Amino acid sequence: MVFRSSSPVTGISNNVNFISRRDAHSTIDSKDFFQVSNSKQLESLWDPHGIFLSLHSLNYLRLPFIRDGLVDIAPGEKFSTCLKGKKILEVGSGAGILSEGLAKYGAEVIGIDSSKVMLELAIDHCSKNKRLANNKPTYILSTVEDHSMSYPDMYDAVVVSEVIEHVGQKELFVESCVRATKPGGKLFITTPSRTRFAHFTLIFLYENFLKCYPKGAHQYDSLMTPSELKFMLEMNDCHVEDIKGYIYNPFSNQWSWTNHKLYSFATLAVKSPNTNDNKN
């Protein structure tokens, strides 16, 4: 199965009418910050010194996590080709901060998002990035539930970074992400933890006082615990290989791995290679 267009992105592929699909069977949370924010707020996503600077610095942690989960890097191997031949879906790709990083590793990247404003920003930015001249991500306006129905068992990896805390119907969301993954393929999910520590630091301190994130970007009740996410993945024929904690230092603008999961956690799971056989 191939996409209708694999050439450099020149526009947004729109294959779903979102206005009519925001119901109990949609993963879109119409009240979430990224659904109600005005375009001016979102346009600052590519400002490396703006309110989303922590999202840019997160690439230094999450990109190696994804890369090393997919391939072994031999000494002297070029990072620009280490993921060549890998087809990766980024769910909730937003303005393309992570998608562009994965494309620089040589991967074929498909980014999907439910925000037209976000994808327009992503397309505009990657069109100006000379390092992506020969390998631009492809961006599609779609929800993961619709995309996975059209392209099941399609991707070597599905990446969901700082997104699942912003969606509704998390069970449907995880099920859809798994559906899009090839049997034997991998899923990478990073998200804040639902702990009182994260509630105080992430929401109360970092949003309201230090302004590390836009105010209202996170809602405590929408966060998850590692055990909840692991259960959802296992219920969808996935084996969870790794769950590790990480934390943000707003004073150095750096992220680091931790031996606890009180702030955020990253999950690596593998879809059962026998998924299709189990359905027969």
Considering only 69-73, 135-139, 157-161, 244-248, which range has the smallest mean pLDDT?
A: 69-73
Question: pLDDT value at position 208?
Answer: 81
Residue 21 has pLDDT above 60, yes or no: no
Rounded distance between C-alpha atoms, residue 247 and residue 148, angstroms: 31
Question: pLDDT value at position 3?
Answer: 47
Question: pLDDT value at position 43?
Answer: 72
Number of Cβ within 10 Å of residue 54's Cβ equals 17
Mean pLDDT of the chain: 85
The maximal CA–CA distance of the chain, rounded, in angstroms, is 55
Question: pLDDT value at position 15?
Answer: 39
Beta bridge partners of 13: 140
What is the domain partition of the chain in residue ranges? 40-70+78-272
Each residue of 104-126: pLDDT tens digit?
999 999 999 998 888 999 999 99
Residue 130 has pLDDT above 70, yes or no: yes
Nearest alpha carbon to residue 161 among 53, 68, 49, 61: 61
Each residue of 190-211: pLDDT tens digit?
999 999 999 999 988 888 878 7
Question: pLDDT value at position 97?
Answer: 96
Pairwise pLDDT comparison (40 vs 12), residue with the higher score: 40
Question: pLDDT value at position 226?
Answer: 98
Per the CB < 8 A criterion, the answer to whether 64 and 73 are in contact is no
Rounded distance between C-alpha atoms, residue 250 and residue 53, angstroms: 10
Q: Does domain 40-70+78-272 have CATH number 3.40.50.150?
A: yes
Pairwise pLDDT comparison (242 vs 214), residue with the higher score: 242
Each residue of 40-84: pLDDT tens digit?
666 778 888 888 899 999 999 999 999 999 998 866 677 889 999
Average pLDDT over residues 253-263: 97
pLDDT band at 275 (very low <50, low <70, confident <90, very high): low
